[in-house]
Amino acid sequence: MSVAAEDTLAAAGRPVATQAAGRAVRWFQRLLPASLTARMALAFGGVAAAVLVAVGTYLACALAAQLEERDENELVSEVLLVRHLLAEVSSEAEVRAGMHRFTDIAMGHEGLILLVRSREGEPLVTLNPRQEQVPPLRVLPVDTAPERSLLQQWHPRNGVPSAGIAALGRLGETDRAVEIVVLRDAGYRSVLMKDYQLHILWATLSGALAAAALGYLLARRGLRSLRRMAGEASAITTSRLATRLDAGRAPTELRDLAGAFNDMLARLQDSFSRLSSFSADLAHDFRTPISNLIGQTQVTLAHARTVEEYEALLESNLEEYERLSRMIENMLFLARADHAQVAMQLRTLDARAELDKVAEYFDAVAAERDVGIRVEGAALVRADQTLLRRAVTNLLDNALRYAPQGSTVTLSAETLAGDAVLRVTNGGAGIPAEALPHVFGRFYRADPARSNSAASTGLGLAIVDSIMRLHGGSACAGSAAGRTVLELRFPSRSRSGGPRGRQRQDQPS
């Protein structure tokens, strides 16, 4: 099924809201700039705008509440002041005559409307500059003290909800009372708040822009090390694989990245140099059989030859072809093993039986060279049968080749610390100490005389080593006092790491 079809099916199972949210997120992600610096600048600007809007909104609400409270307190104190002034006069005529004393107390209070009128409705003091329609209000009795909770709502012409209060005030010591009406048109507050909100908007916009610009500069500066590292990395070529990034100069966050990159370079350098020397060895080892083929053929073709001579040439050529074919087959195996592409069928095998089998196969060769083969010990080994036999075959092939006439090659098996250990021991000149670390290398021959030998590809022990690595085990060689021991160690099933090869289904034998 195609990826797109799978996506559609997966989407069909999800609720519509989730799908819409997913689409919105993808759309938003497409809108984001590719540059990390630009993204960080946007993020700085966005965060600054959000914070400024939140703080500005809070301050605007707090200011609006404070202004409203102040206005309401002023309405209450206006009533108290007017009552106080009324206590100093004894008639309505005196009120009218001293009107300025009443209007003075309303001075400086924007939007304040003050009316004093007789019980019959006759106006005594009127301060209503905008000629607002005064609504009918519930009038508080003479002995009721005005307070904020007794304020009533009214709507002036501008539609801004405002507050007002009406109360009776006693004239001096008399029984007569007049009606006091105090209203405050809150329109001025709404103008003030709009102005304030505009300031907040400008502050938010310029703050967000400044934060984005600063963020851009800071991000550019912060990402300088990343650009430097990219520059260093882009200067690395196959001829400069030894170069490393300067992790010490990198900031803490990038140090791990630089370290991982350097480790990767080290691995690449190692693989690259092994590959280079492998191809050099490969060219060298292919050259010998091919120049043998060319040389022999040219010499033979230089004159007319007898049928026997042609047959001899073809036989000799066949030997070289077989050598080339063996080399190619071995190299293919090594290449597949390098990529863990060798299919393995791990089974628990009787190591003794496997050694017996390989020994039996070499009986004729051993007899021809006058070398005996002894098999001893016992162990259970978890391995792929074909690969195990191939490894032991390569070891025994070497051992028989180097064992002196009349000697015995020993194959042994034992269990050590849970691991199955197989050894092939032979006598003879042995492997020089300086050659021991290299014998498992590709195309390596400790004995230079074998380099051009048609029987040797120099890949036998390299294949053993690959087989052991596929099993998660190891191979090692030791040679001293005329005894050469090649040892294979197969780990037990419980050991961590495990085999690297591609495994087929387990079939216990």
Ligand X SMILES: Nc1ncnc2c1ncn2[C@@H]1O[C@H](COP(=O)(O)OP(=O)(O)OP(=O)(O)O)[C@@H](O)[C@H]1O
List residues binding ligand X (CB under 6 A). Answer: 394, 398-399, 402, 426, 428, 430-431, 439, 444-447, 450, 455-462, 484
Residue nearest to Mg ion (CB): 460
What distance in Å separates the CA atoms of residue 57 and residue 199, rounded to the nearest whole number?
11
CB within 8 Å of 150: residues ≥ 6 apart: 140, 144, 165
176 binds, among Mg ion, ligand X, none (CB under 5 to 8 A by kind): none
The residue type found at 22 is: G
- Rounded to whole angstroms, what are the CA distances from 318 to 196, 197, 237, 274, 457? 101, 98, 43, 31, 16
Cβ nearer to Mg ion, comparing 47 with 365: 365
Q: 132: part of which helix (H) or strand (E)? A: none
- Shortest Å, Cβ 395 to ligand X: 7
Structure tokens at 21: 């949210």
CB of 322 to ligand X, least distance (A): 12
Determine the 3-state secondary structure of 427 from DSSP.
coil
Distance in Å, CB of 32 to ligand X, minimum: 58
Which of Mg ion, ligand X, none does residue 260 bind (CB under 5 to 8 Å by kind)? none
Smallest distance, Å, CB 395 to Mg ion? 8
Tell me how far apart the alpha carbons of residues 509 and 503 are, in angstroms, rounded to a whole number: 16
Binding residues for Mg ion (CB under 5 A) = 398, 460
Choose from ligand X, Mg ion, none: what does 40 bind? Cβ within 5-8 Å by kind: none
Q: Which does 425 bind (CB under 5 to 8 A by kind): ligand X, Mg ion, none?
A: none
Which residue number has the CB closest to ligand X?
460
**Residue 135: Cβ within 10 Å count:** 14
Which C-beta is closer to ligand X: that of 123 or that of 482? 482
Q: How far is the CB of 459 from ligand X (least distance, A)?
A: 5
In the complex, least distance from residue 447 CB atom to ligand X, rounded to whole angstroms: 4
Instruction: Report what 484 binds from ligand X, Mg ion, none; CB cut-off 5-8 Å by kind.
Output: ligand X
Nearer to Mg ion, 289 or 460 (CB): 460
Cβ closer to ligand X: 422 or 431? 431
Query: Minimum distance between the CB of residue 317 and ligand X, rounded to whole angstroms?
Result: 19
Nearer to ligand X, 356 or 447 (CB): 447
Structure tokens at 140: 């508080």
Query: Residues 425, 461, 337, CA angle at the centre, nearest 5°?
Result: 135
**Secondary-structure percent of the chain, ordered helix, strand, coil, rounded to 5:** 55, 15, 30
Q: Provide CB contacts within 8 A for 338, sequence distance 6+.
A: 466
d(CA 351, CA 388): 9
The enclosing H or E element of 121 equals none
Query: Which one of ligand X, Mg ion, none interacts with residue 444, CB within 5 to 8 A by kind?
Result: ligand X
Tokens 């160690």 sit on residue: 489
Q: Given the complex with ligand X, which of 342 and 464 has the nearer CB atom?
A: 464
Cβ proximity to ligand X, 203 vs 365, nearer residue: 365
